[in-house]
Amino acid sequence: MSQLEIRNLSASIEGQEILKNLSLAVPKGEVHALMGPNGTGKSTLAKVLAGHEDYEVTGGSVLLDGEEILGKEPDEIAHAGLFLAFQYPLEIPGVSIANFIRAALQSRLAEGEKLDAPAYYKRLHEKMDLLQIDRKFSSRALNEGFSGGEKKRCEILQMSMLEPSYCVMDETDSGLDIDALKVVANGVNLMRGPDRGILVITHYQRLLDYIVPDKVHVMYDGRIVRTGDSELAKELESRGYDWVREELAGSPA
Amino acid sequence: MDSTEISSPEVTDLGGAFERHLALSVVPPRWKEWKRKHWDHYRELPMPRPREQSWRFASRIDFDPGGITLPSLAEVESSFPEIVGQSDLVREQAGRLVFVDNHLADRTELPAELVEKGVVFQPLLEAMERDPDLVERYLFQESTNLGSEKFHALHNAYTEGGYLLHVPDNVEVDLPFVVHHWHAMAGAGVFPHILVVAGRNSRLSVVDVQQSWQPDREGFICAVGNVFAADGARVFRKTIQNFNPRAVSFQLDTNNVERDTTVRSINLNLGSRRARFENEVRINGSGADVKLYSLTVAKDHQEFDQRTLQIHNAPHATSDLLYKNALLDESRTIFSGLIKVAEEAQETDAYQTNRNLLLNEQAQANSLPGLEIEANDVKCSHGATTSQLDPEELFYFLQRGIPRRVAQQLMVFGFFEEVIEQFDHEELEENLRALIREQFSGDVLAQPTPGAHAEPEETPAS
Ligand SMILES: Nc1ncnc2c1ncn2[C@@H]1O[C@H](COP(=O)(O)OP(=O)(O)OP(=O)(O)O)[C@@H](O)[C@H]1O
Ligand SMILES: [Mg+2]
């Protein structure tokens, strides 16, 4: 029950089927990695989970702690506990990081309840220090003019402030230099725990050296074709995806 | 009048409203003559039609300004204590006047120091008694060139509520003069008259707050504001229009700007079913520096119609206009601006910018920027941009749990902040942010979302 469970999910965009009967489960307390070649549908999966309106779900279900989230509005899904760290975080002119996160936290409070501002800023600054983000950034417009690495760090800042039950991180490692990668991995590792399930989408073993996954899934052409332990990621790193492709060609889908 | 006039939507003086008004009016006989003259003028002028250039994009005029009534003092008096209690947008002030449906409801005493310096801050009627020469020099000297001539004439025929602010030569006043103009009774016609006369090298700021007492009473408000800034004067005018969503309002402003003046005007427009705002600046002296700002939040089915004219008749002057509209729901805005630079106005810097933020696909922003330049050595630019809340941006907000209405609110504050800061008065800025925030709660078209009350203000990072 306490898991993010994706059952036989199919979804398409503009009439083109991207997710094809995909099944995957991330229990609380575990970190799973999702790997797969470009264009295989990893970001599509992340956005479908988050309720993006552009995708048409043609079958299956997604349960968050047993509760169906397909068909819900993106903000309802967020409130149900799912967080998506974007592969390409958007620039939001005029809205500061502090105000953005504050509004996100406020939206989780009951009607009439107010966020304790000093406590909020104290926590925000602690998390920023941890992720080695200059505190001055809190008043900067969200992601506006940020470097690729700064944007990714800012996603993790939001994630750690919102403390979601389930995190889907879409290529958070791309664009990070080695030092930033360690800092971000450390931030994510601190969030690991029995009350949280994390799905890390990545192309590189490098990240998984720091965030060691409990399971690794290989996605190919809209479905999961292999699942293994962290050794699988190492195998992919050295052999690429061709062998997956060949194996699939040998056996009917 | 003949019967065809009566059946038309443009009927004037239905049932003799003006004659009754004139009979009851307490203005001096001379003023009554002016009234009649303006009334006749009003009747002669044709009702504007949407296909006219100066009414382009405006929706059809669906109200009859001739049928309005002016509530008597006896009718509105009982509301005064409550309304005066609510006239608290700015506490730190040099003086305050409160008008309710054209009647003076309250006033503060001017500090003795200002009285000694010759500062006049009085209801028009009183000023007319005490200093008729001064009043006559400026009262009813202006009209509008921007399309609402007929409504301007109507204003002149009816206006009695309003004030004269006169700061004599070389007198500087730090704190703002504050005037509240309230619309209270159902169907009331309200005609605020704002007359600001700034002497040579004087300095002043004035805040006009226009509001409705009740949330659901219809009203027709037609305000006229005339600023006269003598050489070297520094004038800062701040206007807040927040009538209820059933009111129809007009604000017809002119600014006469002389040598080396610094003139600022900022308008915050939130209220009315439809609101027309005409703002004309005439730069008659070299070295003048004029900045015109406006912020509008349009929602539901509101229509905000803004027409501006920056006239440069003298060299070496600057005028800079920035009008920002945030549109929600199915609202509409119209911005039509013209910069006119006369042949002798060399070395003019004149700018005009209209920015629109569309927060809903059903909203509609119209922009008609224009330039007419006869001088050859000028820097002029005009531009209009319309940006939208991109669906992917909205998805980002939503994914963080931030509901649509709050996302819009955050975007609007981001969009407005550079102008809000220009109000240059902390208390007022805070109160205006609160007024803007209110626009995002309790909406007809808004989806109810729990906890839709974010606090967009920033506390400084330590
Ligand atoms: N809006 C769209 N319209 C049409 N096709 C789309 C759209 N969005 C995505 N696709 C297609 O869906 C497929 C899956 O894309 P997706 O972004 O999910 O891949 P990915 O696995 O995340 O790739 P990468 O590793 O490069 O990030 C691609 O072929 C892409 O071109
Ligand atoms: Mg991707």
What pLDDT digit, counting tens, does each position of B29-63 carry? Answer: 999 999 999 999 999 999 998 789 999 999 988 88
In terms of C-beta density within 10 A (0-12 exposed, 13-18 middle, 19 or more buried), how is residue B29 classed? exposed
The Cα of B422 is separated from the nearest Cα of chain A by a number of Å equal to 16
Retrieve residue B137's tokens: 């020099």
Q: Is residue A112 part of a domain?
A: no
Span A94-130, pLDDT tens digits = 899 999 999 999 999 998 899 999 999 999 999 999 9
DSSP string, B328-396: -TT-EEEEEEEEEE-TT-TTEEEEEEEEEEE-STT-EEEEEEEEEE--SSEEEEEEEEEEE--HHHHHH
Is pLDDT at B462 greater than 60 in this prediction?
no
Decide if B399 and A83 are in contact by the 8 Å CB cutoff.
yes
Q: What is the average pLDDT across A148-172? A: 96
Residue of A nearest to B451 (CA): A111
Q: Are strands B274-283 and B247-257 parallel, antiparallel or unpaired?
A: parallel
pLDDT at B49: 86
What is the pLDDT confidence band of residue B12, given thresholds at 50, 70 and 90?
low
The H or E element containing residue B223 is strand B219-229
Instruction: State residue B61's pLDDT score.
Output: 86
Residue A108 and residue B449: Cβ atoms within 8 Å?
no
Determine the residue among A44, A84, A107 to mutate to test chain B binding: the one whose Cβ has the most chain B Cβ atoms within 10 Å: A107
Rounded to an integer, what distance in angstroms lies between the CA atom of residue A144 and that of residue A146?
5
- Could you list the beta-strand ranges (E) of A28-173: 31-35, 56-64, 67-68, 82-85, 166-170
Q: Is A41 in the pocket of ligand 1 (CB under 6 A)?
A: yes
Least confident of A126-130, B42-46, B66-70, B328-332: B66-70
Mean pLDDT of A161-190: 94
> Is beta strand A16-27 parallel, antiparallel or unpaired with respect to A3-13?
antiparallel
The helix/strand/coil state of B249 is strand
DSSP B402-449: --HHHHHHHHHHHHHHHHHGGG--HHHHHHHHHHHHHTTSS-SSSPP-
| Choice from A40, A219, A221 to test ligand 1 binding pocket (greatest atom count within 8 A of CB) | A40
Comparing B51-65, B356-370, B386-400, the range with the smallest average pLDDT is B51-65
Residue A227: predicted pLDDT? 95
- Residue A245 domain-assigned? yes
Whose C-alpha lies nearest to ligand 1, atom 28? A39
How many C-beta atoms lie closer than 10 Å to residue B374's C-beta?
12
In this prediction, residue B421 has a pLDDT band, given cuts at 50, 70 and 90, of confident
Per-residue pLDDT reduced to its tens digit, B130-169: 999 999 999 999 999 999 999 999 999 999 989 999 999 9
Cα–Cα dist A93/B63, whole Å: 40
Distances (CA, A) of A167 to A104, B49, B111, B393: 16, 58, 63, 20
Cα gap B113→B129, rounded to integer Å: 22
- List the domain boundaries for chain B: 14-444+451-461
Nearest to A103 among B395, B402, B462 (CB): B402
Q: What is the pLDDT of residues B227-265, one digit of tens each?
A: 999 999 999 999 999 999 999 999 999 999 999 999 999
- pLDDT for residue B443: 45
User: Which residues make Cβ contacts (< 8 Å) with residue A1, sequence separation at least 6?
Assistant: A65, A66
- The pLDDT, as a whole number, for residue B13 is 56
User: What average pLDDT does this structure show over B313-342?
Assistant: 97
Whether residue A206 lies inside any domain: the answer is yes
- The pLDDT score that the predictor gives to residue B4 is 33
Q: How far is the CA of B322 from the centre of ligand 1 (A)?
A: 41
Nearest chain B alpha carbon to A111: B451
Residue A133 lies in a domain: no
Interface check for A35 against chain B (CB to CB < 8 A): the answer is no
| Closest-CA distance of chain B to residue A42, Å | 17
The span from the CA of B329 to the CA of B446, in Å, is 8
Closest residue to A74, CB basis, from B395, B413, B450: B395
pLDDT of residue B5: 35
CB spacing of B402 vs A109 below 8 angstroms = no
Domain holding A15: CATH number?
3.40.50.300
Give the length of chain B: 462
Mean pLDDT of chain B: 90
Tell me the HSE value of B197 on the side-chain side, using a 13 A CA sphere. 22
**How much is the mean pLDDT over chain A?**
94
Ligand 1 lined by A43 (C-beta under 6 Å): yes
Q: How far is CA B21 from the centre of its chain?
A: 25
Does some domain include residue A72? yes
Domain annotation covers residue A115 = no
Quote the pLDDT of residue B458.
38
What percent of chain B has pLDDT above 70?
92
Contacts of B410 in chain A (CB under 8 A): 94-95, 99-100, 103
* Closest by Cβ to B414, choosing from A52, A95, A101: A95
Give residue B7's pLDDT: 35
Q: Which of B397, B458, B462 to mutate to test the interface with A (most CBs of A within 10 A)?
A: B397
pLDDT > 70 fraction of chain A, expressed in percent and rounded: 98
- Which of B400, B406, B453 shows the shortest C-beta gap to A162? B400
Q: Rounded to an integer, what distance in angstroms lies between the CA atom of residue B419 and that of residue B410?
A: 15
Partner-chain contact A93 B390, CB within 8 Å: no
pLDDT at B175 over 50: yes
- Length of chain A in residues, anyone? 253
pLDDT digits (tens, 9 = 90+) for B443-458: 433 333 333 333 333 3
**Is the model's pLDDT at B426 over the cut of 60?**
yes
Rounded to the nearest whole angstrom, what is the distance from the C-alpha of residue B398 to the centroid of ligand 2? 20
Q: Which of A159-168, B12-21, B376-385, B445-454 has the lowest mean pLDDT?
A: B445-454
State the DSSP code for A154.
H
pLDDT, tens digit, for every residue of A191-234? 999 999 999 999 999 999 999 999 999 999 999 999 999 899 88
The whole domain housing A42 covers 3-90+163-249
Least confident of A24-28, A175-179, A184-188, A244-248: A244-248
Domain count, chain A: 1
Q: What is the pLDDT of residue B326?
A: 97
- What digits encode the pLDDT tens for the residues A224-235? 999 999 899 888
Mean pLDDT of B429-436: 90
Residue B8 has what DSSP assignment?
S
Q: Please give the pLDDT value at position B440.
A: 85
B461/A125 touch (CB, cutoff 8 Å), yes or no: yes
Query: Which positions ≥6 away from B233 have C-beta within 8 Å?
Result: B198, B199, B200, B201, B202, B203, B204, B258, B261, B262, B263
